[in-house]
Amino acid sequence: MYRIIYKSRSVAPLNWTLVQDIIMSSEPRNEQSGITGVLLASETHFLQALEGKFEDVNALFRRIFRDDRHEELTLISFSVIDARLFRGWGMLGIGTFNLNQEIESELVEKYGEEDGGIRFPLEEWAALSLINDIKLMRELPVWKQ
Ligand SMILES: Cc1cc2nc3c(=O)[nH]c(=O)nc-3n(C[C@H](O)[C@H](O)[C@H](O)COP(=O)(O)O)c2cc1C
């Protein structure tokens, strides 16, 4: 089993409609090919983790790489894993836009600031830590089909 994590910049300002579009079409495809994962979206960037078999993760990453809705794709990690972190999620979408000020300040203090929002980190441990911090904040907008 493998996990890929990457960060990219959206070509258009991100909002829920755009993120939902991606999640809605991803969820059934990912379930079909045994891929699980999470997609974080700020107003400007994506951070995505994908877990599954070597061939499946690679095939999906190739499709995503070609997608013209984003650019500046940066590979954060490609790791062998013993177990999935995102079991049960074909693709969980989490938006970090319109956060309450207190939470945003806390996360900006911890992870840094980029384009007026929380910086999505380029280190694997920090990326997983941010995903986990955000997952634990139940009041955040989380979208699941
Ligand atoms: C940030 C981002 C994340 C995406 N995540 C997935 C995903 O997890 N699964 C998926 O099937 N497609 C995902 N897509 C869509 C793919 O890039 C692609 O459009 C889709 O798989 C259809 O590919 P095809 O037109 O080559 O068949 C994502 C697109 C973007 C921009």
CATH of the domain at 103: 3.30.70.100
Handedness of CA 77, 126, 116, 47 (dihedral sign): positive
For ligand 1, atom 27, the nearest C-alpha belongs to 63
Find residue 116's DSSP bridge partners.
Answer: none
- What is the domain range of residue 81? 2-143
pLDDT band at 141 (very low <50, low <70, confident <90, very high): low
How confident is the model at residue 8, as a pLDDT?
98
Ligand 1, CB cutoff 6 Å, lining residues: 22, 26, 29-30, 39, 46, 48, 60, 63-64, 67, 69-70, 91
**pLDDT at 138 exceeding the cut of 70:** no
Q: Per the structure, how many domains does the chain have?
A: 1
**pLDDT of the residue at 145:** 41
What are the angstrom distances between the C-alpha of 62 and each of 3, 67, 74, 124? Answer: 14, 9, 13, 20
